[in-house]
Amino acid sequence: MLACSKLIAGGKGLANVLLKRASSVSLDWDVRQKSRFETTDSLGRTLGVFLSRGTVIRGGDVLVAEDGSLIQVNAAEQEVLRITFCTIHGSPFDLTRAAYHLGNRHVPIELKPDHLKIEPDHVLADMLRAMHMTVNTVQEAFEPESGAYSSSGHSHAHGHAHHDHGHSHADGHDHDGHGSHAH
């Protein structure tokens, strides 16, 4: 068994030529949430994956084996519920509402501009259908959101800062609670 105890998020910093030579492994979401498991790569090698507890593996991540070989991780297709808004009775805003209700239930959810994906759950499917959503069972890769407080090692910096964007806040009140509003 070949031990893998290092993960390179998204293969960041690795040359494309190295990634092209790498073996691969396709793992479903349930396995990619585990920090310790056994699997077989595209070369038929048995891999023992031993990562830090709480590590979540994403499609596109690269495992590094003890012999220095690289193994690219693909998100395997699995049964998921694909949720879309009803084009006859609904609107795209219905997806936002559905995401809100699923989020309140702490359900792993993949957000896309035109659909949502969750793991199969007949109770949630019935709730979504009652909200006039279209729910279909499909075989697709599943990459749920990592959450706002995730420490999976993935960088979400997009080259912009969240600070004053040059617009004025001169709106007739101050922010110390002693504004010029008549009480």
CB 100 within 8 Å of CB 127: no
Residue 165 has pLDDT above 70, yes or no: no
Expressed as residue numbers, the domain containing 68 is: 2-75
Q: Quick check: is 43 in a domain?
A: yes
Both 86 and 46 in one domain: the answer is no
The mean-pLDDT minimum among 32-36, 99-103, 178-182 falls in 178-182
* pLDDT number for residue 147: 66
| Domain closes at, from 75, 104, 133 | 75
**Residues in CB range of 143: below 8 A, 6 or more apart:** 29, 58, 59, 75, 110
Q: Which two tokens stand for residue 119?
A: 């793991």
Read off the pLDDT of residues 17-29 as tens digits, 9 standing for 90 and up. Answer: 999 999 999 999 9
DSSP labels for 75-90? E-EEEEEEEEE-TTT-
Closest to 57 (Cα-Cα) out of 13, 25, 87 = 25
* pLDDT number for residue 89: 86
Tell me which amino acid residue 132 is: H
Both 128 and 84 in one domain: the answer is yes
Q: Domain tally for the chain?
A: 2
**Residues in CB range of 138: below 8 A, 6 or more apart:** 79, 80, 81, 82
Taking the C-alpha atoms of residue 27 and residue 128, their distance in angstroms, rounded to an integer, is 28
Q: Which two tokens stand for residue 142?
A: 């599943």
